[in-house]
Amino acid sequence: MTIFGSTGAEDASTAATDSGRPAGPQSRQQEQRGATLLEEARSLVPDAVGLRRSLHAWPEVGLHLPRTQQRLLSALDGLGLDVRTGQRLSSVTATLDGAKEGPTLLLRADMDALPVREATGLDFASRVPDAMHACGHDAHTAMLAGAAQLLSRHREELAGRIIFMFQPGEEGRHGARHMIEEGVLTAGGRAADAAFALHLMPGLPSGTVRLRPGPQMAASDKLRIVVRGRGGHASAPHTAADPIPVACEIVLALHTAVTRRIAADDPAVLTVSTLSAGSLPGIIPETVDITGTIRTVSQAARERLHGAVAQVAEGVAAAHGTAAEVTVEPGYPVTVNDSVFAGFVLRVAADVLGADRVEAMPAPAMTAEDFSYVLAAVPGALAFLGACPPGLTPDQAPELHSSRLVIDEDALASGIACHAAVALRYLSASGQDTAS
């Protein structure tokens, strides 16, 4: 398997072993180019903000986002890209051919909103009842459209091809997997050699970048347990098989199983998120319904925890004369950054934004992403881009998925510049400016 294209390999492999900044003239040249690119990205922010706000006001949820798709298509119009739309979903795939031959890089943005009622009070707040861009995907789309605009101006410097992947259905609908099945990874006529994506983080200082080699985000699996007992009169529990205390024991035993069966240095989270049973104080119910989420960052922990959940729930239920039916529905896999490419991105981002604004994360985030499907097929990286709104400290900023989510739109310039810089460096015609 080709891990990197011929021109990107040098930069990427050098960057991976480069923990500090080399102080040579080439590195100063890179910093200057990065600063110039950031300035150019800033000039595109008014357009990006306009696009972002128009998407924000009219959010669409799921795999079918016709209005979003139309708005994006008009933003990409006239840039000289080859633009295709999806069959099964309202995706947009655009390709940009550089002036010279070289590898193919995929850049991705997601476009879907969440079924959340917006409570920000912004003047461009959602006009759609119970839908909101509460995960920043409006900004992701605007940043990648801005990067397409910027990169189309730099076509002469590109040796290779860029695939711009605009996907619906990131929020639980496996949109990336659908796009892969429809051929996005080979949209340029040959398989993508590398892939890159950004996700905004309101809880990080604006304009900072965080990523790590290896697992960046967790696998997310849905858990459901139905505890079946035997209902009866609440005054005579000995004549029934009460599933409620059994469910309580199962919840506690599941939490214990995580700490006792998974190594402390292999992060895992099991959260029971809903627990429902019963109708009246005088009645012992027949069943208890438990749902939750399982987050892991290694396949070993994922398999071990799935097995433990079934064993614990069925065992506890059986001990009390009841039964547990356990279902684990696999969700998104672990988002794994290629270590070489992640090192490359850390270095490129430092050149664009300043070394003090870029840090390697010590541990993965336990959230999940369907860009994981792309990274399972193509080496690359997903990075977090800080967008803490002005006037708030990062720990005060509402989290992603909050109905009060607000971002710093100045961060859009950093996102546009990072997308563009990763592409320009990866598809550098000579490689000479990237070898330091």
Least separation in angstroms between residue 92's CB and Zn ion is 17
Q: Kindly tell me which of 317 and 405 has the beta carbon lying closer to Zn ion.
A: 405
Q: Kindly tell me which of 266 and 399 has the beta carbon lying closer to Zn ion.
A: 399
Q: Kindly tell me which of 53 and 133 has the beta carbon lying closer to Zn ion.
A: 133
Query: Which residues are CB-contacts of 59 (< 8 A; sequence separation ≥ 6)?
Result: 113, 114, 126, 128, 131, 132, 133, 138
Using the rule CB under 5 A, is 211 a contact of Zn ion?
A: no
Residues in binding contact with Zn ion, number by CB under 5 A:
1
Give, in order, the Cα–Cα distances in Å from 226 to each of 36, 239, 292, 306, 317. Answer: 59, 21, 12, 16, 10
Q: Kindly tell me which of 52 and 304 has the beta carbon lying closer to Zn ion.
A: 52
Q: What backbone torsions phi and psi does residue 213 show, to the nearest 5 degrees?
A: -70, 150
The torsion of the CA quartet 413, 155, 384, 395, rounded to 10 degrees, works out to: 0
Least separation in angstroms between residue 110's CB and Zn ion is 6
Q: Kindly tell me which of 248 and 400 has the beta carbon lying closer to Zn ion.
A: 400
> Known catalytic residue: 39?
no
Least separation in angstroms between residue 343's CB and Zn ion is 24
Number of C-beta neighbours around residue 216 at 10 A: 27
Torsion-angle region of residue 182: left (phi > 0), alpha (psi -120 to 50) or beta?
A: alpha
Per-residue binder mask for Zn ion (CB under 5 A), 127-166, x = binder: --------x-------------------------------
Measured from each CB, the residue nearest to Zn ion is 135
Q: Kindly tell me which of 185 and 405 has the beta carbon lying closer to Zn ion.
A: 405
Number of C-beta neighbours around residue 315 at 10 A: 12
The one catalytic residue in 60, 118, 170, 332 is 332
Least separation in angstroms between residue 419's CB and Zn ion is 16
Question: Cβ distance 184 to 195 under 8 Å?
Answer: no
Tell me how far apart the terminal alpha carbons of the chain are, to the nearest angstrom: 26
Query: Which residues are CB-contacts of 76 (< 8 A; sequence separation ≥ 6)?
Result: 83, 92, 94, 145, 148, 164
Q: Kindly tell me which of 135 and 144 has the beta carbon lying closer to Zn ion.
A: 135
Query: And the tokens for 11?
Result: 């930069």
Q: Kindly tell me which of 37 and 139 has the beta carbon lying closer to Zn ion.
A: 139
Number of C-beta neighbours around residue 174 at 10 A: 18
The one catalytic residue in 118, 170, 171, 409 is 409
> Known catalytic residue: 157?
no
Q: Kindly tell me which of 135 and 346 has the beta carbon lying closer to Zn ion.
A: 135
Per-residue binder mask for Zn ion (CB under 5 A), 384-413, x = binder: ------------------------------
Least separation in angstroms between residue 63's CB and Zn ion is 15
Least separation in angstroms between residue 396's CB and Zn ion is 20
Task: Give the interface with Zn ion as residue ranges (CB under 5 A).
Answer: 135
Catalytic residues: 332, 409
